Structure 1
């Protein structure tokens, strides 16, 4: 998204945008694509308590990029 504009923006603008991306909330499908796993794996990891989702409404659940990065760093116990 910003990569094509990176040369035209000051470094501080890029850093601010990167911080905004870190707080981004993803759907289960987007989270699966982000971690390169199946959507079913995301559902199972949430059900098992390995990933903590954010509930925005009764039927609107999202997962933060920070949470996915934590899972990628620490891994999922088998």
Structure 2
């Protein structure tokens, strides 16, 4: 009699529940308009800063660079 090898995971039944359906936003909040990926980082960052989130190092550098560029443009224009 030949025994057939059954992989230990072959009879595994997925008992996980499917993720819950997305909940509609509460009536007081507007639905999110931004795509799930970031197309322009400034809007994302500005909204985070307004919400009081801490800036990461690269964000701080980015802001400093933008400020320097603005100062240079002002000097050129004057």
Higher relative contact order structure (alpha carbons within 8 Å, sequence separation ≥ 6): 1
- Fold-level match, TM-score > 0.5? no
- Higher strand residue share: 1
Instruction: Report TM bin, short chain.
Output: under 0.3
Query: Larger radius of gyration, structure 1 or 2?
Result: 2
